[in-house]
């Protein structure tokens, strides 16, 4: 069964035939919300809103450990993360869909591993390729089947939030090799790896990153909302094909 974690702009799947909702308790506290089970394009899926169903949980306060553990308990076979991002690379304009292949982690203070208690041995994961290769190809194939253009590859910079970045910070991220900037990619991807859950991301460029827009008025939040509304329609088409793949 496929799991979909929705971020900003995807608090629900309008085409999901809901069968039940389940409130889950985990050893790591409560997840962001109830798990929503249902059928998407004839295939069983479970959906979780990363920021809560009322979008009330900021990125740095998401209980990533509980979210991933809850999905593991639900016996999902793979996770597709949907998240909005800022575009650093010039061709990653607002509305662009990207399936990233690398991550740079700039977050701090977040619980980022299941293996840090005194009674647990140190556990190292191979994070050379942070996204599951087969699942990435599945998402790319689904996009092609849906007739939606997506970019194959990109370096995702995970920042702390909840504020957006300064222009100087974006310049630094670009020098580091980042193409996209978001606030929720880590530790989510690493926790999925610790739980042996295949994980891939479908990023939606909501706006140009700070200092990258031609606008003299900075980032326009009204425009972001309009971009996400249109882009999420396309994301849902892709997800419908991922679910049946």
Binding site, residues? 8, 50-51, 183-184, 207-209
| Cα torsion angle, 232, 233, 238, 242, sign | positive
Strand segments (E) across 41-153: 43-49, 78-87, 97-99, 102-105, 151-152
Residue list for the binding site for substrate: 183, 207-209
* Alpha carbons 57 and 73: distance in angstroms, whole number: 22
Instruction: State the DSSP code for 147.
Output: T
Instruction: State the DSSP code for 37.
Output: E
* Alpha carbons 217 and 54: distance in angstroms, whole number: 29
Burial of 145 (0-12, 13-18, 19+ CB in 10 A): middle
Residue list for the binding site for phosphate: 8, 50-51, 184
List Cβ neighbours of 56 (8 Å cut-off, separation of 6 or more): none
């Amino acid at each position: 069964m496929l799991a979909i974690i929705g971020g900003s702009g995807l608090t629900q799947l309008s085409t999901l035939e809901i069968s039940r909702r389940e409130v889950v308790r985990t050893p790591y506290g409560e997840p962001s919300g109830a798990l929503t089970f249902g059928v998407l394009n004839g295939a069983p899926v479970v959906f979780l809103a990363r920021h809560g169903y009322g979008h009330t949980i900021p990125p740095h306060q998401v209980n990533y450990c509980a979210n991933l553990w809850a999905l593991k308990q639900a016996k999902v076979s793979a996770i597709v993360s949907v998240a909005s991002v800022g575009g650093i690379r010039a061709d990653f304009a607002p509305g662009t869909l990207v399936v990233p292949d690398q991550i740079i982690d700039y977050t701090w203070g977040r619980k980022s591993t299941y293996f840090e208690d005194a009674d647990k041995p140190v556990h190292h994961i191979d994070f050379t390729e942070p996204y599951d290769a087969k699942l990435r190809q599945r998402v790319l194939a689904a996009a092609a089947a849906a007739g939606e253009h997506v970019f194959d590859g990109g370096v995702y910079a995970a920042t702390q939030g909840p504020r957006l970045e300064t222009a100087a910070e974006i310049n630094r991220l670009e020098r580091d090799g980042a193409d996209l900037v978001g606030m929720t990619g880590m530790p989510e991807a690493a926790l999925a790896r610790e739980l042996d859950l295949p994980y891939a991301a479908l990023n939606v460029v909501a706006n140009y990153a700070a200092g990258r827009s031609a606008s003299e008025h900075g980032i326009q939040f009204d425009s972001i909302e309009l971009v996400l509304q249109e882009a999420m329609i396309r994301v849902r088409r892709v997800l419908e094909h991922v679910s049946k793949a």
